Chain A
Amino acid sequence: MKMTWSQGAHPSAGNRNGIRWIFNPYLLLAFRLLLAAIFIYAAVQKIGKPQAFAEAIRGFGVVEYGPPLYIMAIVLPWIEIFCSLSLVTGVFVRGSALILLGMNALFLAVIANRAAGFVRDGTPFMKVYFDCGCGFGPTYAWKKLLEDAAYLLMSLALLAAPRHRFTVSIRRRSS
């Protein structure tokens, strides 16, 4: 096995499609570093406090007490850590992007569901304010939804990019 730094040519050269700009190699690198910084920070707030994180997850009303809840509380922060490390180092970038895409889609769904609960109870949507347990403290639901939507789009761009630069690719030796 051999590890090499890839600096492949970028397909945006043609730029025939209007959305291709999102695959600019420097923009993709910025997405990677931004997502890594955000998810490392979020993970550090939760690692070592599985009980509190389990309560935060339970607050969404989707998972009740039991092994699935506690396993999530133990493992999720570490998934965030390893995805972040992967994005920074450039190893398994697409795998991390796929995980972050799934996680952000899930976060969007549960946060929207919880916000909808507040709205049903009479709170105007723009004033729904709670701690999602994400590691950043209480915030407005609309703000959190916008943030997660942005992270989701960044993850999608990283996953769908035809080629990444500044990555480590692992290849088998031919001999």
Chain B
Amino acid sequence: MKILRNAILQAIAIVAVSVAVGFAFNSFSRNKINPFESPANVPVAADSAQAGADGIRIVELAEARLVVESGVSVIDARRKDAYDEGHIPGAILFDYYDMGTYRDRVLPLLSNEGEIMVYCSEATCDDSELLAKELYLLGFTKLLVFKGGFAEWSGAGLPVERGEL
């Protein structure tokens, strides 16, 4: 019984140190996250009548095509290898899972005033929506998420760019 009690006390000490070091490391990390400012709380609207309004709005292929043609900033939330294989023309790579690298590289290219469209690989991926929520929390408030993603775009025979931008 004494052995178990000691083990529990030791385990509590290890967890306490891990929590302290984990949070300290996170606060200085390039890829830090704020656990209490959850991007999940950012509302997402699917209402196309609210074009130009603040918030995150889901767009379909037809609107995504118009957005690309109008020169709005387009962000590809996939990984670099997928981006290099093919992406929507003019899209900027912003790997959602490497925020530290791409935040400094991409944010200066974006405008807080204009709309930004984000997409990922296909309708089942969440990364475009998650990245849009992160961008919203960073102050970019007019965000569009092209839910069909690159699969729907290329499947419709629309132009595709290859290699690095």
Q: Which residues of A contact B (CB under 8 A)?
A: 47-52, 54-55, 64-67, 69-71, 73-75, 77-79, 81-83, 86, 92, 94-99, 159
Contacts and interface: CB of A to CB of B under 8 A. Distances in A.
A92 B30 contact: no
Contact of A82 (B3, B14, B30, B40): B14
B25 A78 contact: yes
B22 A66 contact: no
Q: For chain B, what secondary structure do more than half of its interface residues adopt (helix, strand, loop), or is it mixed?
A: helix
Contacts of A78: 18-19, 21-22, 25
B10 A92 contact: yes
A75 B22 contact: yes
B82 interface: no
Given A50-B33, A94-B6, A95-B11, A79 B18 contact: yes
Contacts of A52: 97
Interface string B1-35: 00100111111111101110111011001111111
A50 B97 contact: no
Given A50-B26, A74-B25, A92-B14, 8 more contacts: A67-B36, A75-B23, A78-B19, A79-B22, A92-B10, A94-B3, A99-B11, A159-B7
A64 B40 contact: yes
B22 A74 contact: yes
B35 A71 contact: yes
Contact of A79 (B10, B14, B29, B40): B14
Contacts of A82: 14, 17-18, 21
B38 interface: yes
A148 to B, nearest CB: 19
Contacts of B12: 95
Nearest to A58: B126
B23 A98 contact: no
A171 B102 CA distance: 50
Interface of B: 3, 6-15, 17-19, 21-23, 25-26, 29-36, 38-40, 96-97, 99
Contact of B29 (A48, A54, A86, A96): A48
A51 B30 CA distance: 11
A6 B11 CA distance: 20
A139 B34 CA distance: 31
B118 to A, nearest CB: 15
A64 B9 CA distance: 30
A17 B70 CA distance: 78
A89 to B, nearest CB: 12
A82 B20 CA distance: 12
A51 B11 contact: no
A99 B14 contact: yes
Contacts of B31: 48-51
B10 A66 contact: no
Nearest to B126: A55
Contact of B40 (A65, A77, A81): A65
A75 B30 contact: no
